[in-house]
Structure 1
Amino acid sequence: MVKRTLAEKLSILSDAAKYDASCASSGGERRDARDGKGLGSTGGSGICHAYAPDGRCISLLKILMTNFCIYDCAYCINRASSRVERARFSVEEVVHLTVEFYRRNYIEGLFLSSGIIRSPDDTMADMVRIARRLREVEGFRGYIHLKTIPSASPELIDEAGRWADRLSINVEMPTERALADLAPEKSAQGIRRAMADVRSRREASREGQSFRGKRPAKFAPAGQSTQVIVGADGSDDRTILTQSAGLYASYGLSRVYYSAFSPIPDPARALPLKAPPLVREHRLYQADWLLRFYGFEVGEIGGRSGMLDLDVDPKTAWALEHRERFPVDVNGASRESLLRVPGFGTKTVGRILAARRRGAVRYEHLAAMGAVMKHARAFVTAPGWSPRGMLDEDNLRARFAPKPEQLALF
């Protein structure tokens, strides 16, 4: 193996980590430092930016421990047969980088993944050593996200969850068949068993006091997440969203991340030659939000062809197909109906409901409540406003198609 400097390793292994999207730190809580000491707070090369629920931008050191791998997944640039440059960090080097990057105010946490070296247990054991040393030796109280290895021993997964804020186990593909075809060394059943184990351990850690009267240690308090690759196989958007809905329901995931397949050097013959449009990934995130927070079902937003509309966001596409449900009266409609209005987010709907208890909500109030009236005005009535014939205009759909640079969430 070529001997490399720490800077060279960082360049190789941070670049190799860019394909993993599941590194947001939403939901992390500040770890208690009862002695008043410790580094980091939850709240250049290898640094990624994630966003907390309150809008804060959180910087993470995002690296692979190594890009050597004994697996040969067709879609992975680090697969065993790939001819990429290889590097490997030691446990001490990852700890050193994390602490020094924090001290220079570059980061607030660590996202650590890895190729599989020697065996799943050997690799997971090194990742656990890194997290344990950061917590116990360095007193690091910042955010730690570990990418866990499904086939690693339950004891190692248990220890990983005690040191890390979040764990993630990637399902990789939308279907078991696609995983078997493109990553035959991985098991869909094994991945789901590992996710179920993480969920059960998290639930046990929140049950309060044990029979001995001691409170269990927190296990992955920021939850678990996963990632699915979009466009590496022939799965349509309805299939992907059906899988996501099942994962949320079965394993209590904090997030499902969608990563548009990107053609890689020296590709396997089984892969497509072109990447899917990035707007498809964006539409999947929007649809995922509708499933989680807006009361939509997969069958409502999966598209007639099984593919999401790339020209308009999923909520607007649904509204345009169900014009008989509109316009809705902002002063009389239920919460469920208001959540279906394009341009109304969950916070806006909450403000409307609160304001209605004090008096009528007028059209001019809506923008101040956070509504995007460019999208909403054709779908609502309020004192001072009626959409009149807007819903019947032939060019209504064209009015909602955003320019490429205007891709907002809703």
Structure 2
Amino acid sequence: MNADRITEKLNILADAAKYDVSCASSGSKRQNKNKGLGNASNGICHTYTEDGRCVSLLKILLTNFCIYDCAYCVSRKSNDIQRAAFTVQEVVDLTINFYRRNYIEGLFLSSGIFKDADYTMERLVLVAKKLRTEHNFNGYIHLKTIPGASDELMHEAGLYADRLSVNLEMPTEQGLKLLAPDKNRADMIKPMGFLKNEIVQYAEEKKALKKAPMFAPAGQSTQVIIGATKETDQEVLHNSDQFYKKFNLKRVYYSGYVPVLSDNRLPALNTAVPMVRENRLYQADWLMRFYHFKVDEIVNPSHPLLDLDIDPKLSWALRNLHVFPVDVNKADLQLILRVPGIGLQSANRIVSARQFGKLNWEQLKKMGVALNRARYFITCNSPSFESRDLTGTAIKQYILAESQSKYLKNSSIQLNLF
């Protein structure tokens, strides 16, 4: 196969892969050994690890041929697009060549489904296996698994990949039936349960025996498309919460529907999901996973949609002003974490530092507290904020006005640099 044809395939299959956002590489501890290639720390995407490092991945489809006709998918079988497929060896060679040139640190590999689930999954696994066993490649590998594939193939995938994802695609079963009637939600849920059990079992074996093999050390994740169907943010987040609890998922990724296809089951082509809705869902997801918020505190039947103009933590605070003000010199960690403008690191710094004396506004600012938000909700060892009796509407207006002023000031500074 000549280089021009490989480049053509890469252009087609990298472009088709861009709609899958579930490719963050956080959580893997795979180390280089035996002088192998890589270390898990046009097709190249940038993602971030848990410690904030930017990682480059080769992100491609094995093929964009597909037996399914999902309404939202650019690769659906009825769509008139240019089709292409890599061989297993071509993906292996691309990965190694890109790594040697220092273009990438790992691989994210997905695929359309051709023939059937096992046939496709077998080839995805073979790519990872050849990289690990024939090339001693220790870089990051994320495989998007194929719903309906056998447990044996899922097991083998976990032995070679750092992370596996089983994409739910639609937030609810009703949405999947509407837009992808050929697919079965049970086929997506079953492998999640299998992978959860395997990950737990291998982790226990690893504790007892250091030489025990790793199994998907970066865990499993999933992706849901938002905006293609009419689910509220409440439905989306309740769904995510259940999957976090049942399957120990590392991440749920939220992908705003991109209107690239005309279909009477889909929103109009000019109704793209605003990026801010994705951002608000990720912020709400973060509150659930790290700040111990319950879903019903963030969204509920009387407040089913996330505010687009303010973040969900501030939205909750404005709806629960009776909880505030919080005395940061006395309150417990969990309550301090609920204050807008105080993050995880700042909250822990506050709890540690106040053992040595009462904290004031200046000290809080040095700890990373965003006082332009937090000052409306806290007291400390300084004169109290003078307008403590402000309503929620007034606080919101003040915060938005200050944010806008700061944005305009920064824009002015940027313009003056040129």
> Is TM-score (shorter-chain normalized) higher than 0.5?
yes
**Alignment check: 8 A CA contact 2:206 2:214 kept:** no
> How is 1:351-370 mapped onto 2 (pairs within 5 angstroms)?
351-370=349-368
**Alignment check: 8 A CA contact 1:12 1:85 kept:** yes
What is the deviation of 1:110?
Answer: 0.3
Amino acid in the other structure paired with 2:398: R
The residue matched to 2:18 in structure 1 has which SS?
helix
Tell me, yes or no, if structure 1 residue 389 matches structure 2 residue 387: yes
Q: Gaps (5+ residues) in structure 2?
A: 408-418
Tell me, yes or no, if structure 1 residue 77 matches structure 2 residue 52: no
Amino acid in the other structure paired with 1:138: H
What is the rounded CA distance, in whole Å, between the counterparts of 1:21 and 1:269 in structure 2?
25
Q: Counterpart in 2 of 1:271?
A: 266
The residue matched to 2:283 in structure 1 has which SS?
helix
Q: CA RMSD in A?
A: 1.9
What is the rounded CA distance, in whole Å, between the counterparts of 1:209 and 1:318 in structure 2?
41
Amino acid in the other structure paired with 2:253: Y
Distance 1:250 1:376, change over 3 A: same
The residue matched to 1:226 in structure 2 has which SS?
strand
Distance 1:405 1:198, change over 3 A: farther
Q: Counterpart in 2 of 1:238?
A: 234
**Alignment check: 8 A CA contact 1:13 1:63 kept:** yes
Amino acid in the other structure paired with 2:16: A
What is the rounded CA distance, in whole Å, between the counterparts of 2:389 and 2:372 in structure 1?
13
> How is 1:9-408 mapped onto 2 (pairs within 5 angstroms)?
9-33=9-33, 35=34, 37-43=35-41, 45-208=42-205, 216-265=212-261, 267-273=262-268, 274-302=271-299, 304-390=302-388, 392=390, 395-401=394-400
Aligned length, in residue pairs: 399
Structure-2-length-normalised TM-score: 0.92
Amino acid in the other structure paired with 1:260: G
Deviation readout 1:301-354 (Å, 9 max, x if unpaired): 115331000010000001111111111111001111101000111111111111
Structure-1-length-normalised TM-score: 0.94
What is the deviation of 1:31?
Answer: 2.8
* Misfit runs of 4+, over 3 Å: 213-216, 401-406
Q: Gaps (5+ residues) in structure 1?
A: none
The residue matched to 2:205 in structure 1 has which SS?
coil
What is the rounded CA distance, in whole Å, between the counterparts of 2:243 and 2:306 in structure 1?
20
What is the deviation of 1:399?
Answer: 2.7
Amino acid in the other structure paired with 2:254: Y
What is the rounded CA distance, in whole Å, between the counterparts of 1:403 and 1:115 in structure 2?
44
Distance 1:152 1:4, change over 3 A: farther
What is the rounded CA distance, in whole Å, between the counterparts of 1:218 and 1:148 in structure 2?
18
More helix by share: 2
Distance 1:39 1:214, change over 3 A: closer
**Alignment check: 8 A CA contact 1:294 1:340 kept:** yes
Deviation readout 1:358-401 (Å, 9 max, x if unpaired): 22222111122121121111111111241231451553212333
**Alignment check: 8 A CA contact 1:116 1:123 kept:** yes
Distance 1:389 1:209, change over 3 A: closer
| Identical residues among aligned pairs (%) | 50
What is the deviation of 1:55?
Answer: 1.1
The residue matched to 2:102 in structure 1 has which SS?
coil
